[in-house]
């Protein structure tokens, strides 16, 4: 679960951000703050994974608040002012959203988060696992990238097959390939993208991943040869 707080002096901004987060799984609002001092007081007693931060607030500006934190959580800036973007990235923010922003742009920002995996039974190699959100029907499903076995194209849809589930999304396989990290995934067939880390064996023109057999297309054998090097 991603625990987030909203720090913004405008009530409507809180409503918009919460509304966007509500359509996604694993997003939990833990605190609404309407100025930076409320946020500072809350963070003295609690920890959060993510702050949605406005910049032009009374009493203490957003970046001054961020600089005051000894160990800030991840931050997505939400502001109407574009001129502070460079300073934001110098402070290692995740993304800089200009108001008014769309749900699609919001999801893109959240997909950049790198947060601890909430599943205690998994033992990730590092302390952080990458997550992405995928739209399935009217909901956005959060998927741990390390859990994805492969992606299969089905016309205008794709099936994302994971260790525990299958998520069907209305996206072209080419669009998904562009979103997935190239160091973790590559295409082996016009209808299949596979996760490198889950390859069990390669034989002839097929790849075994768990109990699944994935075909290798003629046009994609070069990708496989580069992997084997």
Q: Convert the pLDDT of each residue in 152-184 to its tens digit.
A: 999 889 999 999 899 999 888 988 888 888 888
Radius of gyration of the chain (CA): 20
- How does the average pLDDT of the chain come out, rounded? 87
pLDDT in tens, 49-75: 999 999 999 889 999 999 999 889 999
pLDDT (mean) for 107-121: 66
Q: Does the pLDDT value for residue 117 go beyond 60? A: no
* Residue-wise pLDDT tens digits, 22-33: 888 788 999 999
Statement: residue 45 has pLDDT above 90: yes
CATH annotation of 129-228: 2.40.50.1020
User: How much is the pLDDT for 124?
Assistant: 40
Pair 112, 94: CB distance under 8 Å:
yes
The per-residue pLDDT for 223 is: 66
Confidence of residue 224 (pLDDT cuts 50, 70, 90): confident
Every domain range in the chain assigned CATH 3.40.50.2300: 2-114
**CA quadruple 126, 148, 170, 15: dihedral positive or negative?**
negative
Name residues whose C-beta falls within 8 Å of residue 69's C-beta, 6 or more positions apart in sequence: 40, 43
Per-residue pLDDT band for 115 (boundaries 50, 70, 90) equals: low
Q: Give, as one character, the DSSP assignment of residue 196.
A: G
pTM beyond cutoff 0.95: no
Contacts (Cβ under 8 Å, ≥6 apart) of 107: 20, 24, 133, 135, 140
- What is the per-residue pLDDT for 175? 86
Residue 219, token pair as written in the block:
């046009």
- Tell me: pLDDT of 122 over 50: no
Alpha carbons 131 and 6: distance in angstroms, whole number: 21
- Tens digit of pLDDT for each residue in 92-108? 899 999 999 999 899 88
The CATH number assigned to the domain with range 2-114 reads: 3.40.50.2300
């Amino acid at each position: 679960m991603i625990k987030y707080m909203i720090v913004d002096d405008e009530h409507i901004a809180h409503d918009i951000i919460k509304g966007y987060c509500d359509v996604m799984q694993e997003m939990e609002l833990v605190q609404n703050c309407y100025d930076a001092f409320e946020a500072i007081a809350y963070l003295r007693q609690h920890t959060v994974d993510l702050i949605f931060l406005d910049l032009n607030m009374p009493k203490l500006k957003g970046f001054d608040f961020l600089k005051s934190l000894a160990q800030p959580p991840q931050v997505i800036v939400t502001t109407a002012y574009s001129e502070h973007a460079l300073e934001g990235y110098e402070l290692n923010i995740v993304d800089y959203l200009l108001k008014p922003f769309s749900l699609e742009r919001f999801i893109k920002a959240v997909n950049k988060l790198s947060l601890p995996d909430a599943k205690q039974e998994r033992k990730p190699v590092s302390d952080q696992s990458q997550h992405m959100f995928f739209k399935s029907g009217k909901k956005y499903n959060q998927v741990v990238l390390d859990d994805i076995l492969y992606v299969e194209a089905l016309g205008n849809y794709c099936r994302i097959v994971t260790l525990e589930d299958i998520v069907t999304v209305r996206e072209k396989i080419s669009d998904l390939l562009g979103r997935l990290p190239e160091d973790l995934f590559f295409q082996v067939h016009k209808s299949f993208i596979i996760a490198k880390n889950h390859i069990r064996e390669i034989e002839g023109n097929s790849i075994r991943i768990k109990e699944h057999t994935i075909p290798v297309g003629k046009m994609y054998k070069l990708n496989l040869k580069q992997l084997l090097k």
